[in-house]
Amino acid sequence: MRAAPPATKWSSADTVMCRLLCVQTQPKKRVRERDVQRMFSTGIVLSALRCLLTYIVLPLLGPVLGVSGGVGPAIGLPLAVVALVFDVLGIRRFFVAHHKNRWQAAAVYLGVMGLVVALMVIDVIDLVH
């Protein structure tokens, strides 16, 4: 087990983000760099998988396999929810680790999350109509 990291000075923006993400500003233990990177990769891969399945694979293979058009949104919505959860966990992990690139990672995550939410809205509209 590693020793607790030294106390660090957080900016007011960091403090607000830590409160929002339920992150302690003085973590009890150090988070490994590879754990942070793995969480980042998992969230991005899930978001990409959702888009790939919903908007490329199913529209192209659906007619060949005899799958109706409503299947894409039915698969896409649960995948989107899982992807959003992993995206939030990824942002949280960067802040727990007090990673030097936490704000850049948060910006990437928020951009991806915005696209996923927009696609979720489109899927809900498709399911309703």
d(CA 124, CA 111): 20
pLDDT surpassing 50 at residue 3 = no
Residue 24: its pLDDT value, please?
A: 78
Query: Residue holding tokens 């929810």?
Result: 81
d(CA 44, CA 127): 25
pLDDT surpassing 80 at residue 1 = no
**Phi, psi for 10 (deg, rounded to 5):** -100, 145
